[in-house]
Amino acid sequence: MIAVATVVDWEALLDAAVASLVAALVVTLAASTAIYGAATFAEAQRDERYGVAAMAAVLALVGSLVVAASIAVGLYVMING
Amino acid sequence: MDSDIVLVIVVFAALAFDFTNGFHDTANVVATSISTHALTPRVAVAMAAVLNFAGAFISIQVAATVAQDVVQATAITTTVIFAGLVGAISWNLITWYFGLPSSSSHALIGGMVGAALAAVGTSAVIGEGVLGKVLIPAILAPVIAFVIGVLAITIAYWTCGRLRPGPAARGFRLGQIASGGMLALAHGTNDAQKTMGVITLALIANGNLSATDFEVPTWVIVASATAISLGTYTGGWRIIRTMGTRIIKMDSAQGFSAQGAGAAVILASSHFGYPLSTTQVIAGGVMGAGAGKRVSAVRWGVAGNLVVAWVLTLPAAAAIGAAAYGFTSIFGNGAVGPLLVSVMAIGLGLALFARRIRAGQPVPQV
């Protein structure tokens, strides 16, 4: 009988679980922020609230950059890992 | 000479398995993008086919696991690997015929283990590898995808819940192009590698590669990538014809969250060399994104079917793999047995396919 505790590399499993959790949640939060920023930017610009529009544009830009960077880092790690 | 013929049969059988894997799983990869209208069916299928091809080149960790951590490469022969593939392909065909949600990956591992047990005995199976690298990750991965799906949809609704529905939906549909692409890439990475692993194992068993120090040959990577990509493309056209009938209903935020959860779990697991059931991981992500909005929105009956498939697939594919080895070995160690079984398997496959087409094709469920 193989003892599950000894043959399973729990550390690697935990690493895989944490990596997938962090990657998915960071990308979701960043993408949601980008969507919120873009939608708010369009609305604020239409209402001529330029200060809010500028802040929303920054949010949208930062969110989009974080999404792109996360995907790029993930692929880099996969290819070079 | 005979062993080389068997090797060629094994390579073709493995690529046929890879093709059916892509054919079988296209729905899982593209369904969410199509159902939320993030992508048109034609674009979704074409993108999935291209990214499945590209994904196969990203990593070879899973291929290494299949080649060295499931069965003893030095103890088995190409005939054993052939019988294992027959077990996997047969189980895939049977479950496809009856419309059962099954895992091609579990069928492959089950078939290989069953054939190795029948041919050599328990000493040919690496228990630690099967348990630690296949079974435990197979159980945990869909659960992790489910949890990530719940958390991701909670974040998405929390962030964008106060926006007007139109702009938010458009934004998440745009996001789905990226998340759907990553999911297709992840699918190609994990699933194509299983075939690479089997072909590599056959090359080791046939003495073409060293068991202790080997690299997956480039032609194996290219052939596996091409087979899964062609299967995805072919399966996609079948799905385009059946779209809009029984496919899942979800909003674009849920689609984005589900695809993101599935892609993250599959890519991270591929990096660590775990050969997962991509079907079950994607289903876990979809259910999580559904449950995060409303628990009753999830079709828990599908979850029950997945559990049944978990329990059934490994032993059933193993039994068929063992039976295929038993039948093949009647004709000795030469190429006659595998050739005969190949002809019978092709005939059975065509008969099932024709019968299923006449009776109406089952629509894949996610």
Asked whether residue A55 is domain-assigned, the answer is yes
* Axis crossing angle, helix B2-35 with helix B252-271, rounded to the nearest 10: 150
> Which one of B144, B252, B281 makes the best mutation probe of the A interface by having the most chain A beta carbons within 10 Å?
B144
Q: What's the average pLDDT block by block, 10 residues per block, for chain B (366 residues)? A: 85 91 81 85 90 90 88 88 92 78 84 94 90 89 94 95 88 92 91 92 91 88 94 72 52 92 94 87 88 77 73 92 93 86 86 75 46
The CA-based diameter of chain B, rounded to the nearest angstrom, is 70
Closest Cα to residue B273, out of B58, B48, B54, B107?
A: B58
B175 closest CB neighbour out of A9, A12, A31: A31
Q: Whole-model pTM?
A: 0.87
- Using DSSP's 3-state secondary structure scheme, residue B120 falls into coil
The pLDDT score that the predictor gives to residue A32 is 96
The Cα–Cα gap between B43 and B53 comes to: 15
The Cα–Cα gap between B195 and B200 comes to: 8
CA dihedral B19, B21, B22, B23 (to 10 degrees): 80
Number of H helices, E strands in chain B: 13, 0
> Which one of A35, A36, A59 makes the best mutation probe of the B interface by having the most chain B beta carbons within 10 Å?
A35
Low-confidence ranges of chain A (pLDDT < 70): 1-5, 81
The pLDDT score that the predictor gives to residue A81 is 65
Asked whether residue A75 is domain-assigned, the answer is yes
B185's CB contacts (< 8 A; 6+ apart) are: B51, B52, B54, B55, B58, B263, B267
The pLDDT score that the predictor gives to residue B307 is 77
Would the CB atoms of A24 and B164 count as touching at under 8 Å?
no
The pLDDT score that the predictor gives to residue B277 is 85
**What residue segments make up the domains of chain B, in order of their start?**
2-358
Domain count of the fold of chain A: 1
Closest Cα to residue B112, out of B67, B63, B64?
A: B67
Asked whether residue A46 is domain-assigned, the answer is yes
* Axis crossing angle, helix B252-271 with helix B136-160, rounded to the nearest 10: 140
